[in-house]
Amino acid sequence: MAKIKFPFTLGVASGEPAPDGVIIWTRLAPDPLNGGGMPASAFDVRWEVAEDDRFAKLTASGTTRAQPSGAHSVHVKVTGLRPASVYFYRFRADGHTSRVGRTKTAPAPASTAPLKIAVASCQRYEHGHFTAYKHLVADDPDVVLHLGDYIYEYGKPAVAEPGRYVRPLKDSTAACTTLNAYRERYALYRLDPDLQAAHAAAPWITIPDDHEVVNNYGGRTGDPKRRKAAYQANAEHLPYRVKPAGDAMQYYRRRTFGAVLDLLVADARQYRVAGDILGPAQTTWLLDRLKTSTARWTVLAQALFFAPRNPPSADAWDAYPQSRRKVLDAAPENFVVLSGDVHNAWAARLDRGVEFVVTSISSAPPAVRDDALERNPHLAFFDGRRGYLVAHASMEEFTVDYRAVPYVDRPGAPVSTAASFRAVGNKLERIDL
């Protein structure tokens, strides 16, 4: 068999950190925008985890098989690691070696060590450069939380909107409906150097929103074949611990970070039924976790705007007030909601707890009324720039820095802190003024 070309074009990633291990990921794709460029056969992939980036102190290693049925992606569950520790990892295949990735395990259950979480969402390729990720890497988070719209399924528009078509798609690009189309879209995004660097710098925890499948989808409506293809491609390109089951995938899960933070990741798309944004099974799961959480901070991470808004949104928790009420009634003290989706940064006071809404990495924002804060007195902050946020959690406090870049229509944007807040019960204290 002829030697394959360099296969690690899409980089490496790690995710789902636990106190004793992580998932490490790569995909063999010598020609990523042309079906991957791999033979229709399985390939051995060697993986290595070490305490140093030169791999002199090897901690774990092994060989796995990259199967053509999974786009030659590999997800290795690495165990036996120390809590709250930095490790380095790499892959080898057919004489080639990947870039080195850096990851970090979660703290031990009783740990009171502080935690830094970077939060991102909504990165439409055509709308601009992913420069925010370059700054996110420099902020050195312990973990990255991505709240959805990792890709956008749209095809090339017949008429491009001014300022919203910075990085054009190929002329032949249609909306994603098939497995091969979704795979190619993920490959296009994963070729971005800033996104690759962010994946290589820290472990990620991700939850899809709608554009990983189709705009504004919810529940079990729509084409099951398309949904199956979308979930499979999503799972093939991100470091999850679970796999799809046909046209479904259980994304909701819990991740703990010592005694400091209990992270509850919820899926606000897949299980919707009339009057219930989460569906019965996920609602029961979430309410049980909220009622039994003992961490200093209990954080609900999901894609959609949680707080009420005037005017209300039909594609947010506003359309499911009973679901929102159940969550707030079950929420413990020191409750925080992290949300995305709306391409702008917001901060909100809730009946119990607070909400921090992250802006988009590159996706263009919708128009916002000039009197939005006046009409919504529980909303404490708005910023319309692209960027991300950095949350700092400790036994003493939970603070958030809203990080903003002034433009994405060209590379090289600087970053600044638009605002910083401290959560105090259901109040927000501005701490950067």
The pLDDT, as a whole number, for residue 2 is: 64
Ordered domains of the chain (ranges, CATH): 12-104 (2.60.40.380), 115-430 (3.60.21.70)
Burial of 69 from C-beta contacts in 10 A (0-12 / 13-18 / 19+) = exposed
**Per-residue pLDDT in tens (0 to 9) along the chain, 433 residues:** 568 999 999 999 999 999 999 999 999 999 999 999 999 999 999 999 999 999 999 999 999 999 999 999 999 999 999 999 999 999 999 999 999 999 999 999 999 999 999 999 999 999 999 999 999 999 999 999 999 999 999 999 888 887 789 999 988 889 999 999 999 999 999 999 999 999 999 999 999 999 999 999 999 888 999 999 999 999 999 999 999 999 999 999 999 999 999 999 999 999 999 999 999 999 999 999 999 999 999 999 999 999 999 999 999 999 999 999 999 999 999 999 999 999 999 999 999 999 999 999 999 999 999 899 999 999 999 999 999 999 999 999 999 999 999 999 999 999 999 999 999 888 999 999 9
Residue 353 CB coordination number (10 Å): 25
What pLDDT does 172 receive? 83
The residue whose two tokens read 């799961």 is 285
Contacts 24+ apart (CB under 8 A), 58-66: 59/87, 66/27, 66/28, 66/38, 66/42, 66/93
pTM value is 0.98
- Residue 23: which of 200, 193, 180, 203 has the closest Cα? 203
Taking CA atoms, 225 is separated from 198, 215, 232, in Å, by 31, 16, 11
Distance CA 189, CA 259 (A): 36
Q: How far apart are CA 380 and CA 349, in angstroms?
A: 7
Counted residue by residue, the chain has a size of 433
The β-bridge partners of 388 are: 403
